[in-house]
Amino acid sequence: MIPLREFADRKGVCRGTLSRWRKKGLLKTVVIEGRHYVTAEVIAEFNERAAKGEFSGVILRPSRSGKAK
């Protein structure tokens, strides 16, 4: 198991992104004494899903009118 913060550093994402992934069910964590950890099994599953492109998507750039382009 590794701390969630270390997982974020390894993946190059911020903790807010990990929080959204957890809320969406994309990343499962284990809570021990109020701290989140990621198991080796979850990391392997996450890496497999990421390799398949499951987490990729289009990033919309907002325009000045307030509508995304």
Residue-wise pLDDT for 9-45, tens only, equals 998 888 888 888 899 888 999 999 999 999 999 999 9
Please check whether residue 23 lies inside any domain of the structure.
Answer: yes
Let me know if residue 37 belongs to a domain. yes
Residue 17: count other Cβ atoms within 10 Å of its Cβ: 14
Q: What pLDDT is attached to residue 54?
A: 80
1, 37 Cβ separation under 8 angstroms: yes
Please give the model's pTM, rounded to 2 decimal places: 0.69
Query: Taking the C-alpha atoms of 24, 27, 30 and 31 in order, what is their torsion angle to the nearest 10 degrees?
Result: -50
Contact 69, 61 (CB under 8 A): yes
- 60: in domain: no
Domain around 10:
2-51
66 domain-assigned: no
The structural domain count of the chain equals: 1
